[in-house]
Amino acid sequence: MSKPNIRNFCIIAHIDHGKSTLADRLLEKTRTIEKRNMMKQVLDDMDLEQERGITIKLHAIQMKYTAPDKQEYIFNLIDTPGHVDFSYEVSRSLAACEGALLVVDATQGVEAQTISNLYLAIDNGLEIIPVINKIDLQNSMVDEVTDQIIELLGCKKEDIILASAKADIGTDLILEAIVNRIPAAKTETEKPLRALIFDSKFDIYRGVIVYVRVFEGSIKVGDTIKFFFTENAFTAEEVGVLRMGRIKKDILNAGDVGYLIAGIKDVNDTRVGDTIFKIHEPVSEPLPGYKEVKPMVFSGIYPSSTEDFENLRESLAKLKLNDAALSFEPETSVALGFGFRCGFLGMLHMEIVQERLEREYGLNIITTVPNVEYKVYKTNGEVVLVDNPSDMPEPPKIDYIEEPYITSNIITPTEFIGNLMKLANERRGVFISTNYVDAKRVDLHFEFPLSEIVYDFYDKLKSYSRGYASFDYSFKDFRESSLVKLDILLNAEPVDALSTIVHKDKAFEWGKKLCTKLKELIPKQMFEVAIQAAIGSKVVARETISAMRKNVTAKCYGGDISRKRKLLEKQKEGKKRMKQIGSVEIPQEAFHAVLSLN
Residues engaged in binding other proteins (CB under 8 A): 526-527, 548-562, 564-565, 567-568, 571-572, 574-575, 583, 585
Vertex 303 angle, CA 298 and 307, to 5°: 145
**Residue with smaller CB distance to ligand GTP, 90 or 242:** 90
| Rounded Cα distance, 500 and 480, in Å | 17
Considering only residues 122 to 141 of the shown chain, the ones binding ligand GTP according to CB under 6 A are 133-134, 136-137
Of 97, 128, 149, 165, the residue at the interface with ligand GTP (CB under 6 A) is: 165
Minimum distance of other proteins from residue 571's CB (angstroms) = 4
Closest CA to 425 of 460, 400, 477: 460
Contacts by 314-319, CB closer than 8 A, 24 or more apart: 315/357, 315/360, 315/361, 315/363, 316/340, 316/342, 316/357, 317/267, 317/268, 318/202, 318/267, 318/361, 319/353, 319/356, 319/357, 319/360, 319/361
558: partner contacted, choices other proteins, Mg ion, ligand GTP, none (Cβ within 5-8 A by kind): other proteins
Q: Do 442 and 436 touch, CB atoms closer than 8 A?
A: yes
- Pick from ligand GTP, Mg ion, other proteins, none: which does 247 bind, CB < 5 to 8 A by kind? none
Nearest to other proteins of 385, 567 (CB atom): 567
* Binding at 305: pick from other proteins, Mg ion, ligand GTP, none (beta carbon under 5-8 Å per type): none
Residue ranges in 175-194 that form contacts with ligand GTP under rule CB under 6 A: none
Contact by Cβ (8 Å): 218, 188: no
CB of 106 to ligand GTP, least distance (A): 8
Distance CA 421, CA 417 (A): 6
Query: What's the number of CA atoms in the CB half-sphere (13 Å) around residue 360?
Result: 21
Nearer to Mg ion, 82 or 370 (CB): 82
CB of 543 to other proteins, least distance (A): 17
75: β partners? 7, 63
409 is a contact residue toward ligand GTP (CB under 6 A): no
**Dihedrals φ, ψ of 513, to 5°?**
-60, -40
- Which of 309/527 has CB closer to other proteins? 527
Binds 552, which of Mg ion, ligand GTP, other proteins, none (CB < 5 to 8 A, cut-off by type)?
other proteins
Contact status: 81 vs ligand GTP (CB under 6 A):
yes
Number of Cβ within 10 Å of residue 382's Cβ equals 11
Shorter beta-carbon distance to other proteins: residue 139 or 551:
551
CB of 327 to other proteins, least distance (A): 38
Query: What amino acid is encoded at 302 in this protein?
Result: Y
HSE of 106 in the Cβ direction (CA atoms, 13 Å)? 20
From ligand GTP, Mg ion, other proteins, none, interface partner of 585 (C-beta below 5 to 8 A by class):
other proteins
Which residues in 9-48 contact ligand GTP (CB under 6 A)?
13, 15-21, 41
To ligand GTP, the closest distance from the beta carbon of 113 in angstroms equals 8
Query: For 441, which DSSP code?
Result: E
Q: Which is nearer to Mg ion, 82 or 449 (CB)?
A: 82
* Contact partner at residue 532 from other proteins, ligand GTP, Mg ion, none, CB < 5 to 8 Å by partner kind: none
| CB of 82 or CB of 240, closer to ligand GTP | 82
CA distance 319 to 517: 32
CB of 504 to ligand GTP, least distance (A): 38
* Structural element, H or E, at residue 568: helix 561-576
CB-nearest residue to ligand GTP: 82
Shortest distance, position 140 Cβ to Mg ion, whole Å: 19
Kindly give the pairing relationship between strand 470-481 and strand 398-413: antiparallel
- Nearest one of 188, 154, 160 to 174, comparing CA atoms: 160
Closest-CA residue to 277 (of 324, 214, 351): 214
Q: Which of 290, 272, 275, 286 is nearest to 225 (CA)?
A: 275
Q: Among other proteins, ligand GTP, Mg ion, none, what binds residue 470 when CB lies within 5 to 8 Å by partner kind?
A: none
Q: Which is closer to other proteins, CB of 186 or CB of 564?
A: 564
Which of ligand GTP, other proteins, Mg ion, none has residue 133 at its interface (CB below 5 to 8 Å by kind)? Answer: ligand GTP
Taking the least distance from each CB to Mg ion, the nearer of 55 and 412 is: 55
Judged by CB, which is closer to other proteins: 66, or 571? 571
82 scored as a contact of ligand GTP (CB under 6 A): yes
Residue 334 near which of other proteins, Mg ion, ligand GTP, none (CB within 5-8 Å, type-dependent) = none
User: Exposed (0-12), middle (13-18) or buried (19+): which is 497, by Cβ within 10 Å?
Assistant: buried
20/108 with CB nearer Mg ion = 20
Q: Fill in the amino acid letter for 85.
A: D
Residue numbers at the binding site for Mg ion (CB under 5 A): 19-20, 55
The answer to whether the beta carbons of residues 371 and 389 sit under 8 Å apart is yes
Residues that bind ligand GTP (CB under 6 A): 13, 15-21, 41, 53-55, 81-82, 133-134, 136-137, 164-166
